[in-house]
């Protein structure tokens, strides 16, 4: 009998260890970062009273938009990118280009020309800055600006949108499973539950995106500088279009001979006209002689 009990001890210990491991695995999964993020997005617990307009628990989204003229677009854009990176921000987009304004070609020497290209360097940046450093980053840009065309700062409150999504998802949590009856089928119930689940997910994603916008402000920058002239001395292409002098002489003689040939052929082609002219002259002379 003791031998039978001793044989059962090992399987029971193995099953207990597996069950404990499974319980820990399920507990770890329940507290995964993804689920924690969703739970935080659907949370209605605020650290302070949200009825106050300047409450730190309000979900406020700040943005900035600046267009200004600087002395050097490349240097200003590079410094701004370094500043954003230093405060743990992100450069979403940074685009620099030269917009051509005018182009002129001026004579320089007998076989070259001076090419003058006028262009305006511009840059457009989209930055994501931690909300606590937005003012300092904007100040860094404005301190480099020679002329500010416009500067727009916005502070929009999305507290009630966030709270609406959270309460809707919180209301869906305790709903019991719907059972089919005479008017509904299992397929209708499954479709309804799937729609409700998708709406809940969309609201959770919307709140997560809102929290991201609250934590990181979007800073849109447009830079430009005065026109810059790019001067280059290039070979005059007209010089390469002309043939050597000897070739031009031969071509001129050949073209003259062709022209004389065409003239002679043209005169011979209108021989009836010459006969009529000769007859008219002869008749005129005869008439003039009789009149005398």
Residue 137 · residue 84 · CB < 8 Å: yes
Nearest CA to 230 out of 101, 133, 108 is that of 101
Residues 153/60, Cβ–Cβ less than 8 Å: no
Phi, psi of 47 (to 5 degrees): -70, -20
Identify any residues that bridge with 95 across adjacent strands, giving them in sequence order.
Answer: 124
Distance (Å, whole) CA 63 – CA 154: 5
- 18 part of a folded domain: no
Per-residue pLDDT tens over the stretch 149-186: 999 999 988 887 877 877 877 765 555 566 666 667 77
Highest mean pLDDT (candidates 8-12, 22-26, 28-32, 208-212):
208-212
Domain membership of residue 68 (yes or no) is yes
Q: Residue 10 falls within a domain, yes or no?
A: no
State residue 34's pLDDT score. Answer: 59
At 131, give phi and psi (nearest 5°).
-60, -30
Reading the block at residue 227, the tokens are 């026109």
Could you tell me if residue 4 is inside a domain? Answer: no
Residue 245 reports pLDDT greater than 50: yes
Residue 27: pLDDT band (50, 70, 90) is very low
Residue 141 maps to a domain: yes
| Domain membership flag for residue 258 | no
Tokens of 99: 């917009």
Closest of 190, 163, 168, 194 to residue 178, by C-alpha: 190
Q: Tell me what the pLDDT averaged over the chain comes to.
A: 79
Q: What is the pTM of this model?
A: 0.60
Q: Whole domain around residue 229: which residue ranges?
A: 60-233
Q: How many domains does the chain have?
A: 1
Residue 65, token pair as written in the block: 């938009």
Residue 165 placed within a domain:
yes
Q: Is residue 36 part of a domain?
A: no
């Amino acid at each position: 009998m003791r031998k039978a009990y001793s044989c059962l001890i090992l399987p029971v210990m193995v099953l207990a260890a597996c069950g404990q491991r499974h319980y820990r695995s399920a507990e770890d999964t329940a507290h995964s970062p993804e689920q924690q993020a969703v739970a935080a997005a659907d949370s209605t617990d605020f650290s302070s009273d949200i009825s106050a307009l300047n409450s730190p628990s309000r979900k406020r989204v700040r943005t900035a938009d600046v267009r200004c003229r600087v002395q050097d677009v490349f240097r200003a854009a590079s410094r701004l990118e370094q500043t954003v990176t230093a405060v743990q921000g992100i450069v979403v987009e940074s685009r620099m280009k030269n917009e051509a304004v005018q182009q002129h070609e001026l004579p320089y020497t007998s076989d070259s020309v001076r090419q003058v290209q006028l262009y305006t360097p511009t840059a457009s940046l989209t930055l994501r800055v931690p909300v606590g450093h937005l003012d300092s980053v904007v100040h860094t840009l404005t301190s480099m600006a020679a002329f500010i065309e416009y500067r727009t700062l916005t502070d929009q409150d999305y507290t009630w949108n966030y709270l609406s999504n959270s309460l809707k998802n919180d209301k869906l949590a305790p709903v019991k499973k719907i059972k089919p009856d005479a008017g509904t089928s299992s397929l209708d119930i499954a479709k309804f539950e799937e729609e409700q689940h998708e709406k809940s997910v969309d609201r959770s994603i919307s709140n997560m995106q809102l929290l991201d916008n609250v934590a990181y402000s979007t800073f849109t920058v447009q830079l430009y500088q005065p026109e810059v002239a790019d001067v280059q001395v290039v070979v005059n292409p007209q010089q390469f279009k002309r043939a050597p002098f000897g070739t031009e002489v031969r071509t001129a003689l050949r073209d003259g001979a062709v022209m004389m040939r065409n003239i002679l052929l043209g005169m011979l082609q209108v021989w009836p006209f010459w006969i009529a002219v000769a007859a008219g002259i002869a008749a005129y002379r005869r008439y003039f002689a009789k009149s005398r």
